Amino acid sequence: MPKRKPLAPATPSPVKPGPRTVRVEAAVPDVDGTFGDVVVADALRELSTRDPKLGELIARCGELPRIFACQEARRAKHEPNRAFRSLARAIVFQQLNGTAAATIFGRVLRCVGAQDDVLALTPDAIIDADEAAMRACGLSQRKHEYLVALARAFHPAHSDFPLSDESLEAMDDTAVMSALVALRGIGPWSVHMFQMFYLNRPDVLPTKDFGVRKGVMRLYGLRDMPSEAKVEEIAERWKPHRTLASMYMWQAADEGKSSGQMQGGDGGKGEKGKAKEEEDHWAGTKKAKKR
């Protein structure tokens, strides 16, 4: 096979090139203007005061729809095993192209009889599922191990201190991080997304996230991708609203991409697509059921 030129992005960013001042679409109307316990407008005012560069971005973009996307998830709070399902999906999706992962997750749902009712995806269902059948869904041996371990961690009969929706809600951010990274297959990045989009914690800074780092680089005019320490240093002024600020970093990264100002660049869907997938995932959309 002859040498190939670098591939063009596999999935072009859905953000259309256009005037830098274009506003993103308005937030969906049926929201109460809060993120977790925070009034978004107040938090954005505070962020704008403390960080003028971020303030310019906020003024230009308004309240981002992604801020409110997770409100939908909060409405479904009463559904049992939601945290388990979210984390199970995160394990299946990690390391994979979103489309491929959705295909596999759909097969897994079918395998455990949850194709028509995601509520049937329970720790019991995963523990009882036939390993060969799960592997036949396209699940790697490692991921199958992770899923079973996750199911056991949520199962009272298999864990002295079983995790649950309620216990995770009651934990502070540090405790949630400790509890979840202890599970194989769940890393800091996944926990950060879980805290942001599932628990709606207001002060989460996903320093490992490529999009956040890229957004920081762009917004603050840095020449190179900032280290995690540099991101933390810059984000000091965002406390205690680092979750919202991080969402604006994704926006900054998106704008850089759409306006062609980012140098170098990663192929494929990049942080935009990934971030969108995470929003959809943690917000509880049912994309994976489309099969």
Chain residues binding DNA by CB under 7 A are 1-11, 94-97, 99-100, 103-104, 138, 140-143, 181, 183-191, 208-210, 266-271, 273-274
Closest approach of DNA to the CB of residue 131, in Å = 13
Closest approach of DNA to the CB of residue 187, in Å = 2
Closest approach of DNA to the CB of residue 260, in Å = 16
* CB closer to DNA out of 1 and 157: 1
* CB closer to DNA out of 27 and 129: 129
DSSP state, residue 227: P
* CB closer to DNA out of 82 and 144: 144
Closest approach of DNA to the CB of residue 192, in Å = 8
Closest approach of DNA to the CB of residue 147, in Å = 12
* CB closer to DNA out of 2 and 18: 2
Burial class of residue 262 in the structure, from the number of CB atoms within 10 Å of its CB (0-12 exposed, 13-18 middle, 19+ buried): middle
* CB closer to DNA out of 58 and 270: 270
Closest approach of DNA to the CB of residue 32, in Å = 30
* CB closer to DNA out of 27 and 283: 283
SS (H, E, C) the chain: CCCCCCCCCCCCCCCCCCCCCCCCCCCCCCCCCEECCEEHHHHHHHHHHHCHHHHHHHHHHCCCHHHHHCHHHHHCCCCCCHHHHHHHHHHHHCCCCHHHHHHHHHHHHHHCCCCCCHHHCCHHHHHHCCHHHHHHCCCCHHHHHHHHHHHHHCCCCCCCCCCCHHHHHHCCHHHHHHHHHCCCCCCHHHHHHHHHHHCCCCCCCCCCCHHHHHHHHHHCCCCCCCCHHHHHHHHHHHCCCHHHHHHHHHHHHHHHHHCCCCCCCCCCCHHHHHHHHHHHHHCCCCHHHHC
Closest approach of DNA to the CB of residue 49, in Å = 30
* CB closer to DNA out of 156 and 267: 267
